[in-house]
Amino acid sequence: MPIAQRTVEPTLVCQSRGITTNMPPSLPSTSLIALTSIIRQLSTLSKYADEMFGDVFNEASKYVYRSNKLEERVAALAQALQERKEDETVALPDVPAPVQEKPEQHILNVYIPRALKEKYHECDRPPPLGVFARLR
């Protein structure tokens, strides 16, 4: 099951929030509330779109970096093979081994999506299980 990257919750567009007036709701006030709610939703949508395109750009730049490294290794290997074919008596030169990059750690807070962080902070605290261990 994939991890939710973003949570989008619907809002009631025509309901007033936090506006306290003694007057009954009228058509102009309801339309003004609806327009401001729509603008707020569009603002949230643009923020999510910016995050999504930023994530796509970061992933694409990682792939470009990795493909460039792979292309350099293939070029070095092709050159070494070409030299080997030209002179069969010479030993194959050592091609430098690729530097082992650290595997990405997806459990660090840097890599956790914001929606998952929000869900994590909304949860109740875990029970104190250490109390049960002392009762033994």
Q: Report mean pLDDT in 10-residue bins for the chain, 136 residues.
A: 66 66 71 86 88 86 93 92 75 66 57 74 82 70
Query: So what's the pLDDT on residue 12?
Result: 75
Query: So what's the pLDDT on residue 55?
Result: 83
> For residue 97, what are its two tokens?
């081994």
Query: So what's the pLDDT on residue 93?
Result: 62
Collect all residues with Cβ–Cβ distance below 8 Å to 119 and sequence separation of at least 6: 4, 7
